[in-house]
Structure 1
Amino acid sequence: MFSKFTSILQHAVEALAPSLPLQEDFVYHWKAITHYYIETSDDKAPVTDTNIPSHLEQMLDILIQEENERESGETGPCMEYLLHHKILETLYTLGKADCPPGMKQQVLSFYTKLLGRIRQPLLPHINVHRPVQKLIRLCGEVLTAPTENEEIQFLCIVCAKLKQDPYLVNFFLENKSKTGASGSSIPVRESVLGKLKEPSASCASDTGQTEVTGDPGAATNKETELTQQAAEESVSVNTLNIPSQSETAANRPNQDYNLVNSLLNLTKSPDGRIVVKACEGLMLLVSLPEPAAAKCLTENTALCELLTERLTVFYKALPQSMDPLDIETIESVNWGLDAYSGKEDRTAFPGKRALISFLSWLDYCDQLIKEAQKTAAVTLARYVRERFFVSVMEPQLMQTSEIGILTSTALLNRLIRQVTSVALLQETVYFILGEQREPETLAGINSYPLRHRLIEHCDHLSDEISIMTLRMFEHLLQKPSEHIIYNLVLRNLEERNYNEYKPPCQEDKDVVENGQIAGAIDLEEDPLFTDLSPSNRLSADWLSASPPQTPDHTKSDGKTEVHKIVNSFLCLVPDEAKSSYHVEGTGYDTYLRDAHRQFCEFCAFCTRWEWPGAPKTFENCHLEAAFFEGHFLKVLFDRMGRILDQPYDVNLQVTSVLSKLSMFPHPHMHEYLLDPYINLAPGCRSLFSVIVRVVGDLMLRIQRIPDFTPKLLQVRKRLLGLDPEDAVIDHSTLLEGVIVLEEFCKELAAIAFVKFHASTTP
């Protein structure tokens, strides 16, 4: 009580007394603090019962006022006094000793305000960055400490200053041998008093501090002289303590990065606000461009372990079985905003809290790697792949339990959708597909077990697993990574050995032979049609409706050519099996707008991959090599071939993946997937030939289903919600497959048209 009264009285006296020159006022407040330690024997009274907080606040106000009164960048005598007398060093000692109790909190607050409010660069001064380094080591030592809030504020202001001047980070890379020997056997009070007596004793001789009662003229001259001298010393300190770029790039194997270590400790705080601030500080530090700091951060700190350990903990906390729809449709999760309480949540499901925690931390890892310096980003992402993807996720994806496969695949799908950083996306892709780029062979499709297993899951006995895995690949194909499409498809098409090459002179002669398309499938010889007699065989006009092949059919240089291709797809399904023209708004043109939008999106990230504008010439292709479409296309074509016998949802997903593949603006993929006129080599199949065989099978089945067209129309109306679902319709799976087939052919026609239009438009 008496101390508080003294403080009030002192403030009143200061307010009434004539104002002193700033330097004298500054020295007065500092002396008041030092005299407390010299004159007071009671170490146990809390600092809030003393005048120390008030004096520190006054010192800070004086420094800010001094800077505002001077030209930008000019150092005043008060700041010179603070630097020359190592006041920050002394305050650090007092804070470390926490003498009196609560002093550490005051010191942290003073450092934070000093660095945050003073505009001139302070960290280059050795008498600033050295005590700052020492104070950093005190942060995060004890969890849930009463100073946690001040600690994180202090660390974050240091990070912000380093973000402004990244080269300064080299001051905070310390040799372990120096930082390790910080212990002392001297009692706290003797240590503190020793620190205080040094500057106090040498005050007058070293700085020219004048007494208040001295000659004002002499004092002014002496002050000016010493201010200039101190300024020169400050410049020399500045110059000598900024390492050169060559020094920062040097290999320093035994270094501590205590700023990172302290922030890592504070990420373990039970206070969520402290954790978020610590994560923000780490994000600032990883973004610094200094190579030495990036190397030290990834090699000499526990940052990599923090990212992967928490991902592992959150992932393992998820239920073994979760509804894939819950995983897929949960709202977007952003790190730092994870404030879900679960109270009165009508959309809550088992594991929602754990899922949000996992996705929040995944988002933080992704954003951290996105912001990180390039080499640090690569290292961090690789660590996530090795310690989380391979160690934790892969066993879940490779298990045999159908429920486990479904849940883990849904989580992988969600992870793919959420990852945006280049480095983490690349490591995710390598984890799923492997790094192989050589052409696949039928014997070597199991060279990377996880890739093989996931592709096999696209044709799983469980339709749910098939749909979820196909959806995962669909999302993967929409990611801006060239390795995805190359690994899955392009590496098998590079040599164009799906073509049966004929010399130009022979090709011209064989273009039209007896009125039939050269290279077209002969229905008379196809095994699917051998059981039909001439009297009950359907007309094959649907196939001949495609225009005859011309010698220059491979060139896309005119409207005639694109209309041939479009008509080829539109005429694939026979009229007897079409139902869309009975329903308004389901024409081919409805797909054009969607195809244009998606093609633009694909082109946006494919342009930087420098793909060729035209197919590789046959003369440069190795056409004699056996062609294998690759494991991925093999499974997709096999499923496409069974479209009349598969559930509607499976068919939608298969055709959706194939349409995404058709969007890619690579000439070989366009030729293989969208050119009906290529001369396929013996034993090879293309997307068009697979559909032709499906249609051939359909023509056989139509004959065996009475009232086929009315039933088909009824099923279409039901799928559109225009017809009640009560009535039982025979062959509904087949009829739904026919509808999907018709729509898919229209979609392919639209994609072909859009791609041609884009290639001819400047």
Structure 2
Amino acid sequence: MDMFNKLTTLFQQALETREPSVNLLESFVDHWKGITNYYIETTDETTPAKQTDIPWRLKQMLDILVYEEEHQESEETGPCMEYLLQHKLLETLCTLGKAQYPPGMSQQVLAFFSKFLAQIQQPVLHIINVYRPVQKLIRLCALPGSQTEKEEAQFLFVVCSRLKQDPYVLNYILEIKRDEPIKKKSSTSADGAHQQSHEAPSTANMPHSPPHGSAAPDTLRSGESGAYATPQQPPHLASPSRAPPASNDLIHALIHLTKSQKSRVVLKAHEGLLALVTLPKEETAECLAESTALCQLLVGRLCELYSMVPSSLDPADIHSFPHTHWRAQFSQGCSEKTMTFSGSEHLASFLGWLDYCDNLAKEAQKVLAVKLAKAIHQQWLLAVVQPQLLQMSEAGILVSTALLSCIIRQISAPTLMEELVFFLLGRQMQGEVRMDTDTHTLRCQLIEHCDHISDEISISTLRLFEELLQKPHEHIVFNLALRNLEHRGYIAPTPGGAEDRHAPDTEPLEETEELEEDPFFTDMYPEGEFNSAEQLLSLPQRQVEQRPSGQTQVADIVNSFLCLVPQEAKTSHHVQGAGYDTYVHDAHELYKECTAFSLEWGWPDSPKPPEPLPVGSDFYEGHLLKVLFDRIARILEQPYELNLQVTSLLSRLAVFPHPHLHEYLLDPYINLAPGSRSLFSVLIRVIGDLMQRIQHIPNFTEKLVHVRKQLMALEPETVMDHMTLLKGVIVLEEFCKELAAIAFVKLPPEEH
């Protein structure tokens, strides 16, 4: 037995020391001849390819090519690879696959090409006898009624992945022709090489492929085979003026496969497109942007999916629909989580594709990202979304506004966000003019919808603006509010032109006298019962005397808002966990978020000197703030949900750390110009109205506490008189505490 083992070992060693290339080549050729002999000898044309020895022989050929490459000592191409290229085996396989003979042959060919491109490490796509059959096979993909979608998706994905190794041959794979001057200059390039490739030179003269990562040779060397014809230089990307290629190219095929019913096919198509747009080099991105239909096809699919979202969806379902990640639809159990109402699958598909486009815009080179964003703006937002937002049907407005809120929430790519912002708000930077409704029609219409006769439309549009203000884009805050506060026209001019932001010490008394003469404040209480108004003003007056000249201490602001609502209308102390401190944490988190946004925006630390308004003009707070102030003025007569949304939007604006926003929305002590109003002055008027109404409601405080407990689900709901007013008072109290909390988190650390 020992002797037998020794002989076996010696025999094995002898085999291993033999030159493997000869046997490898013979074996490779034998397998190829076995495939070709099948077509010569077989008489049964119905036997499926997978029941023949073709798949096994193709696997053996591939294994030989991989083994040869792994054990090749030099950078020279091995004889098996030379044989494959010289005899155009890939071309022949492509032809056999197209003929579907035997049945199912295309499946075997696609699988072979996929494995060949994935497993061969050296660059091969630049070789004419590789990229030409690859082109032909691409044209056979995504045809109607195809039974090989799985193999097609894998093949196309591998091609896109392989292009990362050879990005300079992108326009050859996409069959984008170079412009005329380059054609004349490149007389010995790929077109001339096509003719040489029909020759069959000796394998001894075959050059090796360029090493991994190296560029293609600048010219074809004398005696080189046409099988290795490479572009004369790294291919010039097509001129932007060239028309896109035919509709059976790589990009069209991938887009088509994203519509497949098979989720694995769709996922591979998505990943293939993602690999394509993330190819390195700006020139590659220019090629994709200017010389292909990539952006148009992506947006076309977006429009198609958007049109499939049912118009009968409940806006509340749309608003509550979660952020959708494009990969989530391919995860197991996803459909059970998202399909909670009729039509939600269409909404999920649309939002998933939107998230995918957003992801592409983030991953792509800037030139391609900008091109995609502008195509989305023109082809979808302007052409499809805007007409729906401007329609007259209230039901249609509700659904389209809710969808737009979802769209805003979904988008985060900078280039795409910028186009969305300009679509919604325009590019205007100058201050708004009162009654101007023509500068940007959509912006004006959306803001008017915040004060629509339909409360549902108002709530939905207010939610939209709140979603918009959560995006880190400076133009949003500037366009909606700061452009009108930039010159501080709300500050009353003082003699001599010097700025005096606050009234002198004697002004609070004068203001008190003025309030007592105001119709909102007179005859509210019987004689001697005007204590709440005195308390409302007394604390701020005492603090005015203590604060440094010319500045408002933030602590004064906090106390001013906390003391604004009269004691009779306060209910926090009657319910556990409803105090002012409950808002501080949320305000702190919101303030950190908004501060992080604004760090890159270069906002000033202190207000600019006020500029005088033109003669004959008065200060205008701007369209959005006007609507919000008008809504706050009616807080005692509006639905509870609407009041919550108005106050939420104002709180979001107030938390931004711009000194003008802080001053105009949070500082109760500014000396307002004639005819101007601030948020605090509007709230003062509301309190005056409230004090009058309290006198006509018996047991007002008890009813208010009962309603508050109902809203907190501490007591069962019951119907009572003045329900809208009572709920409005509760929202007013909470809003004042929220503003106080926002002011508190803006305190300098030493004042905390």
Shorter chain as normaliser: what TM range?
Answer: 0.7 to 0.9
CA-to-aligned-CA distance 1:369-419 (integer Å, 9 cap, x gap): 332322222222222222222222222222222222222211221222222
Q: 1:487 aligns with which of 458, 463, 479?
A: 479
Q: From the superposition, tell whether residues 537 and 242 of structure 1 become closer, same or farther in structure 2 (CA, over 3 Å).
A: farther
Distance between the aligned counterparts of 1:49 and 1:330, measured in 2? Answer: 49
Q: Does 1:207 align with 2:203?
A: yes
Gaps of 5+ in 2: 1-14, 180-194, 220-229
Distance between the aligned counterparts of 1:760 and 1:98, measured in 2? Answer: 81
Amino acid at match of 2:601: W
Amino acid at match of 1:544: S
1:641/1:691 contact within 8 Å kept? yes
Q: From the superposition, tell whether residues 330 and 444 of structure 1 become closer, same or farther in structure 2 (CA, over 3 Å).
A: closer
SS in 2 for 1:144: coil
Q: Does 1:154 align with 2:145?
A: no
Deviation at 1:641, TM superposition (A): 0.5
Q: Does 1:543 align with 2:537?
A: yes
Q: Does 1:388 align with 2:380?
A: yes
Q: Does 1:357 align with 2:356?
A: no
Distance between the aligned counterparts of 2:666 and 2:232, measured in 1? Answer: 60
Distance between the aligned counterparts of 2:92 and 2:642, measured in 1? Answer: 72
Q: 1:731 aligns with which of 697, 700, 722?
A: 722
Superposed, 1:397-416 pairs within 5 Å as: 397-416=389-408
Between 1:604-613 and 1:346-355, the stretch displaced more is 346-355
2:31/2:60 contact within 8 Å kept? no
Deviation at 1:684, TM superposition (A): 0.5
Deviation at 1:301, TM superposition (A): 3.6
Distance between the aligned counterparts of 1:326 and 1:757, measured in 2? Answer: 42
Q: Does 1:674 align with 2:670?
A: no
Amino acid at match of 1:391: A
SS in 1 for 2:468: helix
- Identity %, equivalent residues: 51
Distance between the aligned counterparts of 2:341 and 2:110, measured in 1? Answer: 44
Deviation at 1:645, TM superposition (A): 1.2
Superposed, 1:39-118 pairs within 5 Å as: 40=40, 45=45, 47-48=49-50, 51-70=53-72, 75-98=77-100, 101-118=103-120
Amino acid at match of 1:40: I
Distance between the aligned counterparts of 1:545 and 1:114, measured in 2? Answer: 82
Distance between the aligned counterparts of 2:305 and 2:690, measured in 1? Answer: 50
Distance between the aligned counterparts of 1:232 and 1:687, measured in 2? Answer: 71
Between 1:484-493 and 1:119-128, the stretch displaced more is 119-128
1:497/1:623 contact within 8 Å kept? no
Distance between the aligned counterparts of 2:725 and 2:554, measured in 1? Answer: 31
Q: From the superposition, tell whether residues 688 and 72 of structure 1 become closer, same or farther in structure 2 (CA, over 3 Å).
A: farther
Superposed, 1:335-354 pairs within 5 Å as: 335-338=326-329, 348-354=340-346
The aligned residue for residue 21 of structure 1 is: 20
The aligned residue for residue 140 of structure 2 is: 138
1:499/1:678 contact within 8 Å kept? yes
Q: Does 1:637 align with 2:633?
A: no
Deviation at 1:631, TM superposition (A): 0.7
Amino acid at match of 2:156: L
Amino acid at match of 2:315: P
Q: Does 1:318 align with 2:319?
A: no
Q: From the superposition, tell whether residues 445 and 666 of structure 1 become closer, same or farther in structure 2 (CA, over 3 Å).
A: farther
Distance between the aligned counterparts of 1:503 and 1:552, measured in 2? Answer: 21
SS in 2 for 1:444: coil
1:370/1:377 contact within 8 Å kept? yes
Amino acid at match of 2:736: C
Distance between the aligned counterparts of 2:438 and 2:284, measured in 1? Answer: 41
1:22/1:62 contact within 8 Å kept? no
Residues matched between the structures, number? 700
Distance between the aligned counterparts of 1:127 and 1:319, measured in 2? Answer: 50
Distance between the aligned counterparts of 1:242 and 1:32, measured in 2? Answer: 32
Distance between the aligned counterparts of 1:745 and 1:281, measured in 2? Answer: 53
Distance between the aligned counterparts of 1:250 and 1:122, measured in 2? Answer: 25
1:249/1:292 contact within 8 Å kept? no
Q: From the superposition, tell whether residues 359 and 515 of structure 1 become closer, same or farther in structure 2 (CA, over 3 Å).
A: closer
The aligned residue for residue 215 of structure 1 is: none
Q: 2:677 aligns with which of 685, 689, 692?
A: 685
Alignment root-mean-square deviation, CA: 3.7
Gaps of 5+ in 1: 1-16, 179-193, 209-225
Distance between the aligned counterparts of 1:687 and 1:580, measured in 2? Answer: 22
Between 1:594-603 and 1:296-305, the stretch displaced more is 296-305
Q: From the superposition, tell whether residues 232 and 600 of structure 1 become closer, same or farther in structure 2 (CA, over 3 Å).
A: closer
2:329/2:335 contact within 8 Å kept? no
Distance between the aligned counterparts of 1:487 and 1:543, measured in 2? Answer: 35
Between 1:482-491 and 1:251-260, the stretch displaced more is 251-260
Deviation at 1:595, TM superposition (A): 0.5
2:605/2:658 contact within 8 Å kept? yes
Between 1:497-506 and 1:233-242, the stretch displaced more is 233-242
Deviation at 1:465, TM superposition (A): 1.6
Q: From the superposition, tell whether residues 736 and 393 of structure 1 become closer, same or farther in structure 2 (CA, over 3 Å).
A: same
The aligned residue for residue 518 of structure 2 is: 526
Q: From the superposition, tell whether residues 514 and 439 of structure 1 become closer, same or farther in structure 2 (CA, over 3 Å).
A: closer
Q: From the superposition, tell whether residues 521 and 612 of structure 1 become closer, same or farther in structure 2 (CA, over 3 Å).
A: farther
Q: From the superposition, tell whether residues 693 and 374 of structure 1 become closer, same or farther in structure 2 (CA, over 3 Å).
A: same
Amino acid at match of 2:348: I
Distance between the aligned counterparts of 2:326 and 2:682, measured in 1? Answer: 46
Q: Does 1:333 align with 2:324?
A: yes
Q: 1:753 aligns with which of 720, 735, 744?
A: 744
2:31/2:57 contact within 8 Å kept? yes
Distance between the aligned counterparts of 2:587 and 2:125, measured in 1? Answer: 56
1:471/1:653 contact within 8 Å kept? yes
Distance between the aligned counterparts of 1:695 and 1:233, measured in 2? Answer: 80
Q: From the superposition, tell whether residues 653 and 622 of structure 1 become closer, same or farther in structure 2 (CA, over 3 Å).
A: same
The aligned residue for residue 266 of structure 1 is: 257
Distance between the aligned counterparts of 1:236 and 1:396, measured in 2? Answer: 51
Q: 1:443 aligns with which of 435, 438, 442?
A: 435
Q: From the superposition, tell whether residues 552 and 341 of structure 1 become closer, same or farther in structure 2 (CA, over 3 Å).
A: closer
Distance between the aligned counterparts of 1:606 and 1:520, measured in 2? Answer: 38
Amino acid at match of 1:663: V
Deviation at 1:566, TM superposition (A): 1.0
The aligned residue for residue 276 of structure 1 is: 267
Amino acid at match of 1:53: P
Amino acid at match of 1:61: D
Distance between the aligned counterparts of 1:496 and 1:196, measured in 2? Answer: 76
The aligned residue for residue 598 of structure 1 is: 590
2:484/2:620 contact within 8 Å kept? yes
Distance between the aligned counterparts of 1:506 and 1:92, measured in 2? Answer: 84
2:35/2:57 contact within 8 Å kept? no
Distance between the aligned counterparts of 2:334 and 2:118, measured in 1? Answer: 38
2:607/2:660 contact within 8 Å kept? yes
Q: From the superposition, tell whether residues 442 and 720 of structure 1 become closer, same or farther in structure 2 (CA, over 3 Å).
A: same
SS in 1 for 2:715: coil
Distance between the aligned counterparts of 1:644 and 1:236, measured in 2? Answer: 74
Deviation at 1:232, TM superposition (A): 8.7
Distance between the aligned counterparts of 1:428 and 1:741, measured in 2? Answer: 33
Q: 2:242 aligns with which of 243, 249, 253?
A: 253
Q: 2:712 aligns with which of 705, 720, 724?
A: 720
Distance between the aligned counterparts of 2:51 and 2:526, measured in 1? Answer: 109
Distance between the aligned counterparts of 1:51 and 1:120, measured in 2? Answer: 28
Between 1:516-525 and 1:537-546, the stretch displaced more is 516-525
Deviation at 1:133, TM superposition (A): 3.1
CA-to-aligned-CA distance 1:721-762 (integer Å, 9 cap, x gap): 222323x4332222221121111111111101112237989x
Amino acid at match of 1:580: S
**Structure 1-normalised TM-score?**
0.82
Distance between the aligned counterparts of 2:73 and 2:560, measured in 1? Answer: 78
The aligned residue for residue 7 of structure 2 is: none
